[in-house]
Amino acid sequence: MDISCCLIQTDTLKMQFAGANNPCWILREGKITELKADKRAVTASLDEGSTLFNLKEFQLQKNDMLFLFTDGFADQFGGPRGKKFMYSRLEKLLITSAVMDPGAQKQFLLKDLEEWKGSLDQVDDVCLIGIRI
């Protein structure tokens, strides 16, 4: 099982993040900063002798956008050659759509994913959470 968790102190905009395989992306002024997740599943932490997940801290600013997501978007097969969508394509879409209001951004992302997928089956859950500070 994979997960991303973040805690934001609303008075200081200080964020803490921990992730199991899924990172957190912060979009600021057209550039994405990635807070890397630990490369292990949540279930690995249940094994005797395992360590806790690493906690990352980041100072947010007003108008930053946070993105937490599963691998379903990037792993979706489609396009003209039936290839994976890939994280680099998702990153470009998020940067392009950052100026949109949340409803328009959602529709933009869903439309692009559906066009990419075409007639192929959806291979996994697709979850993407965007938070504007």
pTM of the model: 0.89
Enumerate the H helices of 16-101 as residue ranges. 72-75, 87-97
**Measuring CA to CA, which residue among 2, 16, 113, 53 is closest to residue 105?**
113
> For residues 26 and 54, which has the higher predicted lDDT (pLDDT)?
26
Averaged pLDDT, 76-87: 96
Give pLDDT, residue 45: 55
* pLDDT band per the 50, 70, 90 thresholds, residue 3: confident
Q: In Å, what is the CA distance from 110 to each residue of 13, 54, 93?
A: 29, 32, 11
Give pLDDT, residue 46: 60
What's the chain's average pLDDT?
Answer: 93
Give pLDDT, residue 97: 96
Q: Mind listing the pLDDT tens digit for each residue in 20-51?
A: 999 999 999 999 999 999 998 887 556 666 66
Domains of the chain: 3-132 (3.60.40.10)
Residues in the chain: 133
Cα–Cα dist 60/83, whole Å: 35
* pLDDT band per the 50, 70, 90 thresholds, residue 92: very high
CB contact at 8 A, 133 and 64: yes
